Amino acid sequence: MNDDLPIYVLRVSARCRRLRLEVTPQEGLVVVTPPGVAASAVRDVVRRHRRWIETAFQRLAARQAELAASGKDASAPVTAPVRIELPALEENWSVRYDERPAPGRLVPVQTWAEPAAAGAERILHIRHGRGVETAQLVTALKGWLRDRAAATLPPELRRLAAACGLDVAGVRTGWQRSRWGSCTHAGVITLNAKLLFLPQELVRHVLLHELCHTRHLHHQDEFHDLLLRFDPQADACQRALRRAGRRVPDWAEDGRA
């Protein structure tokens, strides 16, 4: 990137509620805006997010290299999944897409899970109108995944906190681009919803890591000693986390600001 603005594709969408940036293998930088946004406002947003754009292109290049090394097509467009595996919860979901034609009106994308008996297949329904874009389906799936994370990760974090005698001021779930978790000075922990794609032992490590930050908000010896006290396999888990990003499916990768 030089002092000029990066080249971008501008897309106006009536369904878009706020201006957003996306970086894709097919089109590079894409700016999606609601109708009526001035060109100067678009340029200002691109200029302010220059650092994010550079990082997003670097992450995309790394992801493409990883896919190429594994023999996958790095330029293939993202597709909506028909099956979702969540190792953290030991859950497998079959996704069913139900088209509901409704001429003359917009049908919102709706997501709901079908009740399942113990041991039965879990089914996730995505109801949508005719001509819906894949991006809308993926957005709905991400929303469902965030809800699933919000229902399961905070209780597990609080259970671990009680078992370890650590205090947590608050816990929330998010969709972080690069961090599995974070902790503020006030002791509020944020957990990445994409943790659900990781094995349980790595999820436990991340939760313990962030809980230890409620005592030591750094990575010096005091923090490391406390973490090893609760998680003797912390070093091995930390090494595994460096490669854990490949467990996140392409549709769940965050490519927007």
- Enumerate the β-bridge partners of residue 24: 28
Q: In this structure, are 106 and 149 located in the same domain?
A: no
38 has a pLDDT exceeding 70 = yes
Range of the domain at 167: 145-247
pLDDT in tens, 163-180: 999 999 999 998 887 789
Q: In this structure, are 199 and 151 located in the same domain?
A: yes
Q: In this structure, are 217 and 124 located in the same domain?
A: no
Q: In this structure, are 58 and 104 located in the same domain?
A: no
Within-domain flag for 104: yes
Helix-strand-coil split of the chain, %, nearest 5 = 40, 20, 35
Within-domain flag for 252: no
116 has a pLDDT exceeding 60 = yes
Q: In this structure, are 97 and 18 located in the same domain?
A: no
pLDDT in tens, 225-241: 999 999 999 999 999 98
pLDDT in tens, 190-211: 999 999 999 999 999 999 999 9
Q: What is the pLDDT of residue 59?
A: 75
Within-domain flag for 137: no
Residues whose CB falls within 8 Å of the CB of residue 162, separated by 6 or more in sequence, listed in order: none
Mean pLDDT within 9-34: 81
pTM: 0.70
Give the relative orientation of helices 200-212 and 221-230 as an angle to the nearest 10 degrees: 140
Q: How far apart are the first and last CA of the chain?
A: 18
Q: In this structure, are 165 and 223 located in the same domain?
A: yes
Within-domain flag for 138: no
| Residue % of the chain over a pLDDT of 90 | 46
State how many domains the chain has. Answer: 3
Q: What is the pLDDT of residue 17?
A: 74
* Lowest mean pLDDT segment, chosen from 2-11, 48-57, 150-159: 2-11
Task: Please state, as a whole number, how many other Cβ atoms lie within 10 Å of the Cβ of residue 173.
Answer: 24
* Ramachandran assignment for 119, one of left (phi > 0), alpha (psi -120 to 50 degrees), beta (any other): left
Q: What is the pLDDT of residue 195?
A: 97
Q: In this structure, are 193 and 225 located in the same domain?
A: yes
Within-domain flag for 235: yes
Q: What is the pLDDT of residue 215?
A: 95
pLDDT in tens, 46-58: 999 888 888 878 8
Q: In this structure, are 162 and 243 located in the same domain?
A: yes
Q: In this structure, are 34 and 71 located in the same domain?
A: yes
Distances (CA, A) of 120 to 123, 145, 149, 197: 9, 20, 21, 20
Q: In this structure, are 152 and 236 located in the same domain?
A: yes
Contact (Cβ atoms closer than 8 angstroms) between residue 201 and residue 207: no
Contact (Cβ atoms closer than 8 angstroms) between residue 205 and residue 233: yes
Contact (Cβ atoms closer than 8 angstroms) between residue 191 and residue 181: yes
